[in-house]
Amino acid sequence: MFTSTGSSGLYKAPLSKGLLLVPSALSLLLALLLPHCQRFFVYDLQAVKDDFQIWRLICGRIICLDLKDTFCSSLLIYNFRIFERRYGSRKFASFLLGSWVLSVLVDFILVEAVWYFFGIAAAGNLPSGFLAPVFALFVPFYCSIPRIQVAQILGPLSITNKTLIYILGLQLFTSGSYIWIVAISGLASGLCYHSKVFRLHQALCIPIWMAKFFSWTLEPIFSSPEPATEARIGMGATVDIQRQQRMERLDRQLTLSQFAQVRRQRQQGGIINWNRLFPPLRQRRNINYQDGRRSEQQASPPLEVSEEQVARLMEMGFSRGDALEALRASNNDLNVATNFLLQ
């Protein structure tokens, strides 16, 4: 599930790592050791309007007071780290900042609408935490991450690489009574920022000097080493490209192992049954050697062979004659010729 949107780990994602560690640690600290301090982190818009407690717009929208929300939002941030790899930390931070600021305005609008149409006072019951930007990230996730079918159930219904992420978002969406207000505000702000309405992406962005400052001070703390157990793939590559690259890497490993086995057989005096693999090809070559009147250039019908592919096969240890014959027999298909020579 959690490797479907990028390689594992937090390599090239220091901001995502910081969002995973710092708010989660503070949430646990408030829940287990400092429960009496939780009142300072309550997201209460009624107190903002009546008592002008503007600081609640910051404190109440950073740390989750519900551990279930902390867990779900952390998993989603881990999955959405692909956007930091793809766009860079500065642009990713700008998106989070823009959606975080815009969602405040949408929160006020939705709270007033709920009070006006339904007479429900929801201003003092909104969930705390860094939730609106997490929901906002579903907008680029839906728009830019391709769907790849993993399994099909009940006829037309199918499970894709994105299904479990949406289920996790639905779990977070239904975790509280009024969290749907924060979710809608996050989606609306993410849509506005992603679609570049009124050039919000230029107005609400991280300045270059600030990005350089945090890159110099905090990035060394939250940086992670490159995973050594995975193939070197492009950061932010979509899942279909990653699977293609990993399959190619496995093919190369298999080819090299087969090549090493063939070389060991040759060094040990093993004999390759060429007549079993290329009966007509080998018979023609033997006839050419016996007659002494034909050459590879006079073979009928003549087929031009790419010298680049011949060179690649010769680099693997095959002779030029074997490479030429294998490429001609496979119609210049390098993969088929390699398999012929290695089997």
Q: Predicted confidence band at 267 (pLDDT cuts at 50, 70, 90)?
A: low
Q: Predicted confidence band at 114 (pLDDT cuts at 50, 70, 90)?
A: very high
184-190 average pLDDT score:
96
Other CB atoms within 10 A of residue 192 CB: 21
The pLDDT of residue 193 is above 50: yes
Least confident of 99-113, 279-293, 316-330: 279-293
Share of residues in the chain with pLDDT > 90 (%): 46
Q: What's the whole-model pTM score?
A: 0.67
List, in order of start, the domains of the chain with CATH numbers: 14-224 (1.20.1540), 306-342 (1.10.8.10)
279-297 average pLDDT score:
46
Q: Predicted confidence band at 326 (pLDDT cuts at 50, 70, 90)?
A: confident
Q: Which of 9, 8, 11, 6 is nearest to 219 (CA)?
A: 11
Angle at 202 between CA 197 and CA 206, to 5 degrees: 130
**Structure tokens, 239:** 């899942």
**Structure tokens, 132:** 């609106």
The pLDDT of residue 153 is above 60: yes
The alpha carbon torsion through 239, 241, 244, 246 (nearest 10 deg) reads: -70
pLDDT one-digit tens code per residue, 226-256: 766 554 444 444 555 555 566 566 666 666 6
171-193 average pLDDT score:
94
131-150 average pLDDT score:
89
The pLDDT of residue 95 is above 70: yes
| H helix or E strand, kind and range, residue 152 | strand 149-153
67-88 average pLDDT score:
92
Query: Are 12 and 85 a contacting pair, CB within 8 Å?
Result: yes
Residue indicated by tokens 């979710």 = 183
Which has the higher per-residue pLDDT, 324 or 190?
190
318-332 average pLDDT score:
79
